[in-house]
Amino acid sequence: MKMSDVIADMILDMFDDNTSTVQIQRNDLANRIGCVPSQINYVITSRFTPEAGYQIESRRGGGGYILITRATSPQNALMGFINSIGNSIDERSAKANLINCNYQKLINDKATKMMVCAVADSNFKGVPKEYANVIRARQLKQMLLAYID
C-alpha cells in the first residue's frame, strides 16, 4: 500500500458516523505514520478536495491544525465545489472537476456528458480567452446549481 493511501485511510478512519469534522495536527500525524509533514499536505490537497465533498481550513503557528469538514450530503458536496470554482476556469480544469464529481457519484453520467460538452473551448470560438474562462465558470456554476434543484 502506498504511503498516500495509508495517510488517506488514517484520516478517513478519524471520521465516524456522527462526526463531519476532523482536526489534525500535521506534525503529530506525520510522526505517528512515519512520514514527512509535506506528505500529509499532499494527501489533503489531492484527495480531500471540494469536488470530493470536503472543505479544508488550516491554521499555522505553534498550535496550528488542519480542519477537514466532510459534506453531509451530495448537495452539500456540490455546493462546496461550486463555491471553490472562483471567477474563472479553463476547459481542462472544468472537465477534470466534472469527471471527478461523476466519479464521486455527485452527478450522473448523462449530466456529466452534457456539462463537459457545454464547457468545451469549441463553444467559445471568437471569444477572448480571459472572457471565455469567466463565462465558462459562470455557466458551470449555473449548471451545477440547476442539477442540485
pTM reported for the whole predicted model: 0.68
Q: Coil, helix or strand for 85?
A: coil
Residue (of 25, 83, 127, 115) closest to 33 by Cα position: 25
Q: How far apart are CA 20 and CA 5, in angstroms?
A: 20
Q: In which band, very low, low, confident or very high, does the pLDDT at 122 lie, cut at 50, 70 and 90? A: very high
Supply the mean pLDDT for the chain. 89
If asked whether residues 51 and 92 sit together in one domain, one would say: no
Percent of the chain residues past pLDDT 90, beyond the cut? 35
Boundary-marking domain end, from 70, 94, 120: 70
Boundary-marking domain end, from 70, 101, 118: 70
If asked whether residues 78 and 137 sit together in one domain, one would say: yes
* pLDDT for res 103: 86
Q: In which band, very low, low, confident or very high, does the pLDDT at 74 lie, cut at 50, 70 and 90? A: confident
* pLDDT for res 63: 63
Across 39-47, average pLDDT? 89
Domain with residue 30: its CATH number is 3.30.56.130
Residue 18, pLDDT > 80, answer no
Q: How many domains does the chain have?
A: 2
Boundary-marking domain end, from 47, 70, 93: 70
More confident residue, 15 or 141: 141
If asked whether residues 64 and 114 sit together in one domain, one would say: no
If asked whether residues 58 and 23 sit together in one domain, one would say: yes
Across 132-143, average pLDDT? 96
Q: How far apart are CA 40 and CA 38, in angstroms?
A: 5
Domain, as residue range, for 65: 3-70
If asked whether residues 40 and 78 sit together in one domain, one would say: no
Backbone angles phi, psi at 122, to 5 degrees: -60, -20
Q: In which band, very low, low, confident or very high, does the pLDDT at 62 lie, cut at 50, 70 and 90? A: low
If asked whether residues 128 and 114 sit together in one domain, one would say: yes
If asked whether residues 64 and 86 sit together in one domain, one would say: no
Cα torsion through 135, 136, 142, 145, rounded to 10: -150
If asked whether residues 79 and 144 sit together in one domain, one would say: yes
